[in-house]
Amino acid sequence: MNFEAKLAAPTPAVSGAEPALARSFLPITALSLAIAAGFTAMMSFGTVQEAAKAELGLSDAVLGLIQGVSAAVPLVLFSIPIGILVDRGNRMRLFIALALTWTLGTAITAYAPNVAILFVGRMLTGIGTTGALTAALSLSADLCGPTERGRGVLLISLGKALGQAAAFAVVGWTFGYFVQTSAANWLGLAPWRSTHLALTFASLACILPLLFFREPPRHEVEAQVGAPFRVLAGEFWERRGFLLPLFAGQVTVVMADAAAAIWAAPVLGRDFGQQPQDFAGWMGAMMLFTGIAGAVLGGIAADAGQKTGRRGGLLIGAVIAAVLAIPAALFPLAGSTTLFAIALGTLVLCGTVTGLITSVALTVFVPNELRGLCIGAFIAVAGLIGFGIAPSLVTLISSLLGGEQHLATALAGVGFTVSLVSLGAFVVAMRNAPSNATEPVR
C-alpha cells in the first residue's frame, strides 16, 4: 500500500463503552508535545521579525502579508480538504505528514533568500500546524468519552499554549544567544535564521514519539464514516443555527489574538523601547501561564457547563471569557510595560478559554463523520479573516491614522471592535446549541 493509500485508509466506526482518558494519556501527551513544536514554529517569526525586516529591507505592510496572508490563503485552500481527510482517513499518519510539512516550512524560513521564498516557508508552517491541530482534536475526541472531553482537549490546548509561550521565550532566548555569542554565524546564517534552523531539528525530535501509536477507533457516528458529501452537507445545514454563530464568535476571537500575536513585539520595540531579548523572558512566561491557565479553566468550564443540564451550558465559560476580553484588547494603549503584560495576558487567557470550549463544543455537538470537516471549515474561515485580514487591517488603520507610529492605536481599535462582536455571537450560539451530537439544532 502506497503512502497516499495509507493516509486514505478509513478508520472503522465502533460503538460500546466510552474510552477512558487515563488509558489514553500517553498518546494524547505525544500529540500535545508535537502540537507545541508546531505552534512554536508557526509563531516564531513574529518574535524575530524586526531582525528579518532589517536584513531584507521589509516594510510593515510586507510583514503583515508574510505573517497574515501567507497563513490565510493556503488555510482557505487546504483546511477543508484536510478536514475531510481527518474524517475519512488514518488521522495518526495524516498528523505525522502535516508535522513534517511545518518542519519543512521552518527549514525554508531559515534559508529564505527573498520575500517570495520566505512567504512559502511561512505558508507551509501554517498549513502543517493548523491542519495537524484538526487531526489532533479529532484523535483526542476518540481517545476519551464525551464527559471527559474537556480534559482531553485540554491536553492538546496545553501543547498549543506551550508552543505559543516557547515562540516568545525559547525563540527570543535562542535569538539572543546567537546574537551574543560566536554561534551567531552558525552555518553562515544570521541569528534569526539560525534560530529557525534550530527549531527545525527540535521539531523532528518531537515528531518521533508519534511513530509508536496507532489510530483509535471512531465513536459517536450518526451516518457512517466516508458518507457522501451531500449527507455531510445536510448534517451541517441542519446545525447552521448553532455552527454559524459559533464560528463567528471564535473567528473574531482569532482576529484579536492573531493581530496581538503578530504586532505585540513591534509595539514593545517602538513604543516601549524593548528588544526581543528584553521581553522574551517575561512575555514567554506570561504566555505559558495564561495558556495553561486558560486551557485548564476552559476544560473545567466545558465539562462543568455540560453538568448544568442547561441547553448550551457548555458555552457559558466562552461567554464569560468574551466579556473579559473586551477591555483587555486595549493592551497596546497601556501606560506601562506591566499594564501591557497584564492586559495582553488577559486577552490570551480569554482566547485560550474560548478556543478550547469551541473545540469541545464541536466534538460534543457534532457527529464524528462531520467533525473534521467542521474544524477544517472553521480553520479556513479563521485563517482567511483572522490571519489574512486582521494583521493587514491593523496596518491599514495605522496608515489612515498617519503612519507606522500609530500601530498601537490601530491594534487596540481592531481588538476592541472584534471582541464586541465575539460576545454577541457566542450568546446566540449558546441559545441555539443542540443537546448532543446526533440531535439537529432547533
Contact predicate 374/273, CB 8 Å = no
- Coil, helix or strand at residue 311: coil
24-214+226-431 homologous superfamily: MFS general substrate transporter like domains (1.20.1250.20)
Instruction: Note the pLDDT of residue 158.
Output: 84
d(CA 361, CA 370): 13
Contact predicate 358/246, CB 8 Å = yes
- Coil, helix or strand at residue 232: helix
Dihedral sign computed on CA atoms, order 67, 68, 73, 75: positive
d(CA 425, CA 419): 10
- Write the burial class of residue 181 (CB in 10 Å: 0-12 exposed, 13-18 middle, 19+ buried): exposed
Instruction: Note the pLDDT of residue 329.
Output: 94
What is the H or E stretch that residue 347 is in? helix 337-365
Contact predicate 224/120, CB 8 Å = no
**What's the angle, vertex CA 383, arms to CA 377 and CA 384, rounded to 5?**
95
Print pLDDT tens along the chain (442 aa).
Answer: 443 444 444 444 444 455 656 677 889 999 999 999 999 999 899 888 888 888 888 888 888 778 777 776 777 788 888 888 888 889 999 999 999 999 999 999 999 999 999 999 999 998 899 889 889 988 988 887 776 777 777 888 788 878 988 888 889 888 888 888 765 555 678 889 999 999 999 999 999 999 998 888 876 655 455 556 677 777 777 888 898 999 899 999 989 988 888 888 888 888 888 877 778 778 778 877 887 888 889 888 988 888 887 888 999 999 999 999 999 999 999 988 889 989 999 998 999 899 889 988 888 888 877 777 787 787 778 767 776 788 788 989 998 998 888 899 999 999 999 999 999 999 999 999 887 766 655 5
Contact predicate 44/102, CB 8 Å = no
d(CA 266, CA 269): 5
Helices (H) and strands (E) in the chain, counts: 16, 0
d(CA 406, CA 332): 10
Q: At what angle do helices 337-365 and 149-180 cross, to 10 degrees?
A: 140
In the chain, what are the domain boundaries? 24-214+226-431
